[in-house]
């Protein structure tokens, strides 16, 4: 089975759209951009279009790459206190003279729709799974739920322990009763952990690091990797000869739409909370 | 090798004592107790004695078990604003009509020396390892460091995914480049994960759940379990015939002293921060 992301993302977006049709005000997402490259431009375009589709307001605040940390924090604090804004994200990457996590910590956790502030991470750790939590892990769990893939009691191996995918996902799936193995670049013999897994989530950014001989038949593979080579996107999973052998998510086309759908869901949650 | 906790805890406490000898004020730990049983009484005695040993002030605030959540939160908020208090903990367990995590969240993260608030958990997730983080995981890592047991690139299996041991420890050791497998009561065939591990940390509270035939020779076992049967303490690890086979921490006598030493270290860190 190929696990397409689009039908899942479409369902989420349609539900969001429907839930706000009768509101007089609309959720409003603000994106702060301080460094533009092809990837960030493409992500922002996806976020803007998704906002337009469901009827959210969208504001892009573009700053010069020479901005100081203090000025950027000032911008965030203005958005924190602006009652018209419900969700704030700082588009990564940011210029090298600034520390991303240090900047992010100034976002009011109530408006932190990326789920990157320590408070939001702590809530995910403590069991939050449908609230405002990190978008890609939330999207992966939603996708597994959509395709009726059990988590409880299953062996789940995650390759890559980033702050935005591997680590939060390990908590989310451990909370859902999965047995989690979290690997990193220092792991010796990845295959011993992937061969044994019912579900493998691969998020290393290394093209084709996961091959057929490392996976057992009937496994479920979620591929979060995307490496662009000569303009072509490659996943972390080599899908050669995989069809009929196991289930997997296609690259490209999965991570982006699901992550954006979860971002909009988080913005709706923040809006609902701030309206109270 | 038997991994004794006392020399590690003693070293930590002596360092703390030395670091404050010339201070005119002293770190002050407040413990809120709303439910007394043998275990909580024993823990509080250990914390009080450790405070006396290093020269910290210690205040026990005892409340009736019939106290409401609102009254308890009020007590915490008074401690939050009291400039004489640097560390606040609410001794668990608390009566069944109250939610522990809900209560804890009212502790000012700056004074949260148990490291249980979402903000503190988030910081641990993001890489904090020597700051104010959850005491038992911090003590386990300190112990591994003390005995020169490598974490990077090692296979580490954790049995039990509680909020105070298994989950925070999985993050702490993943951040230190370990490959982490986090098991829970739904895990099928624990042995497949323990046999493969360089280090096993067992924190299930199930007497002798881990046996020699589930461990490889030369493994390192940290036993955080403690089950009292007929007045005798039993670990999660059955130590029969283990001497010379692998390294392990003894039960009882390890978790308590190390956890208390880390609690005092956290209180010192909070004190230093609040003095700034």
Spatial contact of B179 and B155, defined as CB atoms under 8 Å apart? yes
Q: Which SS3 state, helix, strand or coil, does residue A25 take?
A: coil
Asked whether residue A183 falls in the same domain as residue A215, the answer is: yes
| Average pLDDT score over residue span B90-110 | 94
Residue-wise pLDDT for B123-138, tens only, equals 999 999 999 999 999 9
Mean pLDDT of chain A: 95
- The answer as to whether B10 is a domain residue is no
Q: Residue B35: what pLDDT? A: 83
What is the SS3 string spanning chain B?
Answer: CECCCHHHHHHHHHHHHHHHCCCCCCCEEEEEECCCCHHHHHHHHHHHHHHHHHCCEEEEEECCCCCCHHHHHHHHHHHHHCCCCCEEEECCCCCCCCCHHHHHCCCCHHHECCCCCHHHHHHHHCCCCCCCCCHHHHHHHHHHHHCCCCCCCCEEEEECCCCCCHHHHHHHHHHCCCEEEEECCCCCCCHHHHCCCCEEEECCCCCCCECHHHCCCCCEEEECCCEEECCEEECCECCCCCCCCCEECCCCCCHHHHHHHHHHHHHHHHHHHHHC
* Length of chain B as a residue count: 276
Q: In this structure, are strands A179-183 and A227-229 parallel, antiparallel, or unpaired?
A: unpaired
**Among candidate residues A154, A157, A156, the one with its CA nearest the CA of residue A189:** A157
Say which residues have a Cβ less than 8 Å from residue A48's Cβ, sequence separation at least 6. Answer: A58, A60
Same domain, A104 and A156: no
Are A79 and A156 contained in the same domain? no
pLDDT for A201: 98
Residue B197 lies in a domain: yes
pLDDT of residue A255 exceeding 90, the answer is no
Query: Do A212 and A177 sit in the same domain of this protein?
Result: yes
User: How far apart, in whole angstroms, are the C-alpha atoms of residue A87 and residue A91?
Assistant: 13
Select the residue from B110, B182, B191, B200 to test the A interface by mutation, using most A Cβ atoms within 10 A.
Answer: B182
**How much is the pLDDT for A253?**
77
Q: Which of A212-226, B189-203, B221-235 has the lowest mean pLDDT?
A: B221-235
Chain A residues touching B152 at Cβ < 8 A: 186
Residue B81 and residue B140 in one domain: no
Return the pLDDT at A256.
Answer: 86
Nearest-neighbour CA in chain A from B144: distance (Å): 18
Residue A130 lies in a domain: no
Average confidence (pLDDT) over B55-84: 96
Question: Who's near A180: CB < 8 A, 6+ residues apart?
Answer: A156, A157, A158, A170, A173, A174, B170, B180, B181, B182
Q: pLDDT tens for residues A107-155?
A: 999 999 999 999 999 999 999 999 999 999 999 999 999 999 999 999 9
- pLDDT value, residue A37: 82
Instruction: Say if strands B179-183 and A179-183 run parallel, antiparallel, or are unpaired.
Output: antiparallel
CB-neighbour burial class of residue A107 (10 A; exposed 0-12, middle 13-18, buried 19+): buried
Burial class from Cβ neighbours inside 10 Å (0-12, 13-18, 19+) for residue A184 reads: buried
B125–A167 C-beta distance less than 8 A: yes
The pTM assigned to this predicted structure is: 0.96
Contacts of B120 in chain A (CB under 8 A): 118, 122
What is the rounded distance in angstroms from the CA atom of residue B75 to the CA atom of residue B193? 45
pLDDT at B14: 98
Q: Where are the alpha helices (DSSP H) in chain A?
A: 6-20, 38-54, 69-81, 100-104, 118-125, 135-146, 166-175, 191-194, 255-275
d(CA B203, CA A252): 41
Residues of B in contact with A174 (CB under 8 A): 161, 167, 170, 182, 184
pLDDT value at residue B276: 82
Indicate whether A142 and A250 sit together in one domain.
yes
Q: Which residue shows structure tokens 């030493």? A: B261
Task: Tell whether the model's pLDDT for residue B24 goes beyond 80.
Answer: yes
Point out the residue among B101, B122, B186 whose CB comes nearest to the CB of A119.
B122
- Residue B255, pLDDT > 90, answer no
Q: Which tokens belong to A270?
A: 């923040």
Query: Which of A52, A85, A114 corresponds to the end of one domain?
Result: A114
Are both A147 and A236 inside the same structural domain?
Answer: yes
**Within this chain, do residues B75 and B188 fall inside the same structural domain, yes or no?**
no
- The CA dihedral of A120, A123, A128, A130, to the nearest 10 degrees, is -10
pLDDT higher than 90, residue B236 = yes
DSSP 8-class letter at A112: B
The answer to whether the beta carbons of residues B265 and B51 sit under 8 Å apart is no
Instruction: Report the chain A residue with the minimal C-alpha distance to residue B101.
Output: A126
b (16+ CB within 10 A) / e for A8-45 = bbeebbeebeeebeeeeebbbbbbbbbbeeeebeebbe
A120, A121, A182: residue with CB nearest B180: A182
B28: confidence class by pLDDT, cuts 50, 70, 90: very high
Annotate A183-246 with DSSP letters as a single string. Answer: E-TT-S-THHHHTT-SEEEE-S--TT-B-GGGS-TT-EEEE---EEETTEEE-SB--TT-TTTS
d(CA B85, CA B78): 10
Which residues of chain B have a CB within 8 Å of the CB of A152? 186
> At A89, which helix (H) or strand (E)?
strand A87-90
pLDDT of residue B226: 87
Q: For residue A27, give how far its alpha carbon lies from the nearest alpha carbon of chain B (Å).
A: 26
Please state the domain count of chain B.
Answer: 2
The residues facing A183 across adjacent strands are A159
Question: Would residue B114 count as lying in a domain?
Answer: no
Domain annotation covers residue A169:
yes
A142 touching B, CB under 8 A?
no
pLDDT at position B222, please? 96
Angstroms from A6 CA to nearest CA on chain B: 31
Q: Above 80 in pLDDT, residue B219? A: yes
Contacts of A183 (CB under 8 A, 6+ apart): A157, A158, A159, A160, A161, A190, A193, B179
The answer on A148 and A69 residing in a single domain is no
Residues A106 and A196 in one domain: no
Report the DSSP beta bridge partners of residue A247.
Answer: A220
Band the pLDDT of B104: cuts 50, 70, 90: very high
Q: What is the pLDDT, as a whole number, of residue A58?
A: 98
Whether B178 maps to a domain, the answer reads yes
pLDDT tens digit string along B139-148?
999 999 999 9
CATH number at residue A44: 3.40.50.10860
Residue B199 backbone phi and psi in degrees, to 5: -130, 135
Task: Report pLDDT for B69.
Answer: 95
Q: Are residues A57 and A93 in the same domain?
A: yes
Average pLDDT for A73-77: 98
What's the pLDDT at A272? 97
How close B71 comes to chain A (CA, Å)?
24
Q: Which residues in chain A have their CB less than 8 angstroms from residue B126's CB?
A: 101, 118, 121, 163
Q: What is the pLDDT of residue A36?
A: 79
Which residues in chain B are contacts of A161 at CB distance < 8 A? 174-175
Instruction: Tell me the β-bridge partners of B11.
Output: none
pLDDT at B40: 86
The pLDDT of residue B36 is above 90: no
Q: Do B163 and A125 touch (CB under 8 A)?
A: yes
- Indicate if the pLDDT at residue B253 is higher than 80: no
What is each CA distance from A150 to A7, A147, A177, B189, in whole angstroms?
19, 9, 10, 17
Q: How far apart are CA A275 and CA A269, in angstroms?
A: 10
| pLDDT value for A120 | 98
pLDDT at residue A246 in the model: 96
Range of the domain at B218: 135-256
CB pairs under 8 A between A and B: 106
Measured CA distances, B59 to B74, B148, B175 (Å): 17, 36, 35
Q: Does B162 touch chain A (CB under 8 A)?
A: no
pLDDT digits (tens, 9 = 90+) for A261-272: 999 999 999 999
How many C-beta atoms lie closer than 10 Å to residue A127's C-beta? 13
CATH number for the domain harbouring residue A242: 3.40.50.720
Domain-embedded: residue A271: no
* Beta carbons within 8 Å of B10's beta carbon, 6+ residues apart: none
Binned at pLDDT 50, 70 and 90, residue B39 comes out as: confident
The three-class DSSP label of residue A29 is strand
Contact A27, A57 (CB under 8 A): yes
Structure-derived torsion over alpha carbons of residues A35, A38, A42, A43, reported in degrees to the nearest 10: -40
CA torsion angle A95 A100 A105 A106 (round to 10): 10
Q: Does A171 touch chain B (CB under 8 A)?
A: yes
Whole-number average pLDDT of chain B: 95
Residue A6 resides in a domain: no
A87 and A148, same domain (yes or no)? no
* Whole-number pLDDT of residue B177: 98
């Amino acid at each position: 089975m190929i696990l397409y992301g689009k039908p899942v993302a479409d369902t989420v977006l349609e539900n969001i759209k429907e839930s706000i049709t009768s509101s007089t005000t609309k959720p409003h997402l603000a994106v702060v951009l301080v460094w533009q490259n092809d990837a960030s431009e493409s992500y922002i375009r996806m976020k803007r279009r998704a906002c337009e589709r469901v009827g959210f307001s969208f504001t892009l605040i573009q700053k010069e790459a020479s901005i100081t940390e203090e000025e950027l924090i000032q911008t965030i604090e203005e958005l924190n206190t602006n009652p018209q804004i419900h969700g704030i994200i700082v588009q990564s990457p940011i210029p090298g003279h600034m520390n991303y996590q240090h900047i992010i910590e100034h976002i009011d956790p109530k408006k932190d729709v990326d789920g990157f502030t320590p408070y939001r991470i702590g809530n995910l750790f403590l069991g939050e799974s449908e609230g405002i939590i990190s978008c890609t892990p939330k999207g992966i769990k939603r996708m597994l739920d959509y395709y009726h893939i059990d988590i409880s009691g299953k062996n789940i191996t995650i390759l890559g322990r980033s702050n935005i995918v591997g680590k939060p996902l390990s908590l989310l799936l451990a909370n859902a009763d999965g047995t989690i193995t979290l690997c990193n670049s220092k792991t010796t013999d990845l295959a011993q952990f992937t061969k044994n897994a019912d579900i493998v989530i691969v998020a290393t950014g290394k093209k084709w690091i996961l091959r057929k001989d490392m996976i057992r038949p009937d496994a479920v593979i979620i591929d979060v990797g995307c490496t662009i080579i000569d303009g072509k996107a490659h996943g972390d999973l080599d899908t050669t000869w995989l069809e009929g052998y196991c289930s997997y998510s296609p690259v490209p086309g999965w991570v982006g739409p699901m992550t954006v759908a979860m971002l909009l869901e988080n913005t709706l949650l923040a809006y609902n909370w701030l309206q109270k």
